[in-house]
Amino acid sequence: MDIIKIIGIAFLAVIIILILKQYRPEFAMYVSIIAGALILFMSIGKLEGVISLLSTISNSTKVNGQFLGILLKITGIAFLTEFAVSICKDSGETAIASKVDLGGKIIIIAISIPIISTLLETVMKILP
């Protein structure tokens, strides 16, 4: 199971970081970033099945394919933003983490404009 591998990488990284902090604390951050990247890449591989399933559902229900693409981009931005925020916080840079978080939220809102406008148009058609 992949979750066992992910947990193993996390525990191994934590042990290495705890040892490094005693002797070479400047390298501990690098281990954290590398472990996080490994876990991220292991997890991204599982998204292919999810994307395939969503595409099949979108095609069978006649949902606009553009909306599916936007939702996948939003999800990707949210994951990457959370990953970057975690790295910034682990490095002790909470101010930068807050800015990255805000930037991710603004980009998500900007990307979702077509969905919001279509939703509002639909509501306007329903209302007299």
pLDDT value at 81 more than 90: yes
**Structural domain boundaries of the chain?**
1-45, 47-128
Compute the distance between CA of residue 128 and CA of residue 125 in angstroms, rounded to an integer: 7
pLDDT value at 101 more than 90: yes
- Write the DSSP symbol of residue 45: T
Residue with tokens 């954290």: 32
**Please, which residues have CB within 8 angstroms of residue 36's CB and are 6 or more apart in sequence?**
83, 86, 87
Residue of 46, 47, 38 whose CA lies nearest to 16: 38
| pLDDT confidence of residue 1 | 77
Q: Helix (H, G, I), strand (E, B), or coil: what is residue 62?
A: coil
For the segment 103-115, the average pLDDT, to the nearest whole number, is 94
For the segment 83-110, the average pLDDT, to the nearest whole number, is 92
* Model confidence pLDDT, tens digit, residues 8-29: 999 999 999 999 989 888 888 8
Give the length of the chain: 128
pTM of the model: 0.73
- Write the DSSP symbol of residue 64: -
* Model confidence pLDDT, tens digit, residues 19-74: 998 988 888 888 988 998 898 888 887 877 787 887 788 778 777 778 888 888 99
Q: Helix (H, G, I), strand (E, B), or coil: what is residue 92?
A: coil
Q: Which residue has the higher pLDDT, 78 or 122?
A: 78
